Amino acid sequence: MLKVGIVGATGYTGAELLRILSNHNGVQVVLITSRAEQGKPVAELYPNLRQHCDLVFEAPTAEKISLLDVVFFATPHGVAQSMMTDIAKHDVVVIDLSADFRIRDQAVWEQWYQQPHGAPALIKEAVYGLPEFNRKDIRTADIIACPGCYPTSVQLGLKPLLEQGAIELDNIIVNAASGVTGAGRSAKVANLFTEVHDSFKAYGSTGHRHLPEIKQGLSDMAGEYVDLTFVPHLLPMARGIHATIYVRLTRQIDVQKVYSEAYADEPFVDVLPAGSHPETRSVKGTNTCRLAVNRAPEGNTLVVMSVIDNLCKGAAGQAIQCMNIRFGLPENEGLEAAALMP
């Protein structure tokens, strides 16, 4: 049994890690941390975890973390960086769900996050935790930087086309929408029920922090620079990301075949039949990405639709998938349940 800890377990991704790990046969969670809620049982914040998790929040220390096999950071950006140099001295695998080690170019990171990077020497040690692209490197990584939620949905949506070299690389539109859990659990007027319910809007159309991560990922897949326009939207629902991606073919290919073959062996990517439209609810609470690709009525435009649960495949589930890969466990351990419908 792996000894597991979670730093920053009061937020939604931390709670989602606990929910999934409570049904995982290869681990024992022994540490959950929160500076603000020290001494409080996690089940007081998350009554769904009553009878599933008896842990009490503790203050995080490098010493406690050093006794673990694996530690998840479910923290705002900056926290993992600030502790990583200390932790790296110990034999603990770090799986970071924050943005701290996703961007390889330190200057780009610092530009978008408006602060100096806290552990620049370790950036190159981190492996980007998208198993469908990086599975081999994840097997031996000591720092795994889990992708953001939007970037996961977009990269899985475009990977087959980029690897085929079949689309224009400077004419990609990503119109994405997320449930409100994507905004986290902090008390802000903008995220009140009364502000979000029964409405819909875009945000961040002049620049969103996931943009450089998406560009980096797509460029890695294409082997050359990829540009795109990315506009996120806020949905009046709790969980789920839907990316609608518009690309132009540069040559004719059998799109359905390309996607089916690209993901034939992937346990968590499900390519729907041609003409389908995936629903976010079909993946709620699961680590699955469902994809469909349709051709617009005229011309060479393809419409790729990619849905994930932002807290699961977009965060905690993917992190656990990476852990399973890293420690040689069955890749779907703990991640097998079907979504609730309805």
Interface positions, 85-124, toward a second copy (CB under 8 A): none
Applying the rule CB under 8 A, the residues between 218 and 237 that interact with a second copy are: 227, 229-231, 233, 235-237
Between residues 6 and 126, which has the closer beta carbon with respect to a second copy? Answer: 6
The verdict on 342 binding a second copy (CB under 8 A) reads: yes
Least separation in angstroms between residue 23's CB and a second copy is 6
Positions 263 through 322 that interact with a second copy (CB under 8 A): 270, 272, 275, 277-286, 288, 290, 294-299, 301, 303, 305, 307
Least distance between a second copy and beta carbon 233 (Å) = 7
Rounded to whole angstroms, how far apart are CA atoms 150 and 144?
18
CA torsion angle 253 257 260 261 (round to 10): -90
- Least spacing, CB of residue 307 vs a second copy, in Å: 8
Question: Any contact of residue 140 with a second copy (CB under 8 A)?
Answer: no
CB of 31 to a second copy, least distance (A): 19
Piece of 61-69, 72-80, 128-136, 201-209 that binds a second copy (CB under 8 A): 201-209
Whether 322 is catalytic:
no
In which region does residue 180 sit, left (phi positive, over 0), alpha (psi from -120 to 50) or beta (all else)? alpha
Place of tokens 């159309």: 205
Cβ closer to a second copy: 67 or 195?
195
- Catalytic residue chosen out of the listed positions 53, 146, 149, 289: 149
Q: Which is nearer to a second copy, 15 or 32 (CB)?
A: 15
Task: Name the minimum Å distance from CB 283 to a second copy.
Answer: 8
Cite the DSSP H helix spans in 46-191.
62-66, 79-87, 106-113, 131-138, 149-164
> Does residue 25 interact with a second copy by CB under 8 A?
no
The residues that bridge with 246 in the sheet, in sequence order, are: 173, 303
Nearest in space to 162 (alpha carbons), one of 92, 228, 224:
224
User: How many CB atoms sit inside 10 A of residue 62's CB?
Assistant: 15
From candidates 191, 219, 256, 260, binder to a second copy by CB under 8 A: 191
CA 277 from chain centre, in angstroms, equals: 22
Place of tokens 């346990």: 267
Q: What is the DSSP string of 206-269?
A: T--THHHHHHHHHHHHHTS----EEEEEE-SSSS-EEEEEEEEBSS---HHHHHHHHTTT-TTE
Closest CB to a second copy among 227 and 261? Answer: 227
Residue 107 DSSP SS3? helix
Residues carrying an active site annotation: 149
